[in-house]
Amino acid sequence: MVTEALANAETRMQKTVEALKRELATIRTGRGNPALVENIMVDYYGVPTPLNQLASIAVPEANLITVQPWDKQAVSAVERALLKANLGLTPANDGTVIRLSIPQLTEERRREIVKTVKGYLEEGRVAVRNIRRDIIERLRAMERNKDLSQDENQRAQTNLQKHTDSFINQMESVAAVKETEVMEV
């Protein structure tokens, strides 16, 4: 039962790290990245559809993203969705391909982005700590029900804390890489 609870905690914490990685992938860094636009919802014949299901997304140059819808009729809908997504990028449409030129970031904007990265990191830390709290409550309940001895509970909590620290360190290293990437000129 204890190993099941710890395994559950580890799985949930790993999912939190993955969610942080996905969030950070959508942050603009001055370089083209398909993750920046792939999940933008496009109104495709009245149905909200992710952009990556409607078009091929490529990064031919470091500061350019190209979006080529498979259905030529969807080009204007994709362009509208890109404008509505408020990425700070202006799409250029030539009838078949939409180009998003990524301008260089100013120092001030880089600092704002780093603050955003730190905000996502803190949300991830809180999520991992909440998972830890839930598991500790479950362990205490097992101890109250005499399913677990006090020593076993203490060992399990120590083990859980090690997992928590490990996942928080993983998230901090992911965020540090993103911060370095953002601050790079």
Residue 88 has pLDDT above 80, yes or no: no
Q: How far apart (Å, rounded) are the C-alpha atoms in residues 50 and 29?
A: 22
How many other C-beta atoms lie within 10 A of the C-beta of residue 124?
Answer: 25
Residue 161 has pLDDT above 90, yes or no: yes
Phi/psi region, residue 95 (left: phi>0; alpha: psi -120 to 50; beta: rest), is left
User: Which pLDDT score, from 0 to 100, does residue 102 have?
Assistant: 82
Domains present along the chain, CATH in parentheses: 2-25+106-183 (1.10.132.20), 34-101 (3.30.1360.40)
First to last CA, the chain: 51
User: Which pLDDT score, from 0 to 100, does residue 185 have?
Assistant: 65
Q: State pLDDT tens for residues 130-147.
A: 999 999 999 999 999 988
Q: State pLDDT tens for residues 32-87.
A: 778 888 888 888 888 898 988 889 988 888 888 899 999 888 888 888 888 888 77
Q: In the predicted model, what is the mean pLDDT of residues 88-112?
A: 85
* Percent of the chain at pLDDT exceeding 70: 98
pTM for the complete prediction? 0.72
User: Which pLDDT score, from 0 to 100, does residue 18 have?
Assistant: 94
User: Which pLDDT score, from 0 to 100, does residue 10 have?
Assistant: 94
Residue 119 has pLDDT above 90, yes or no: yes
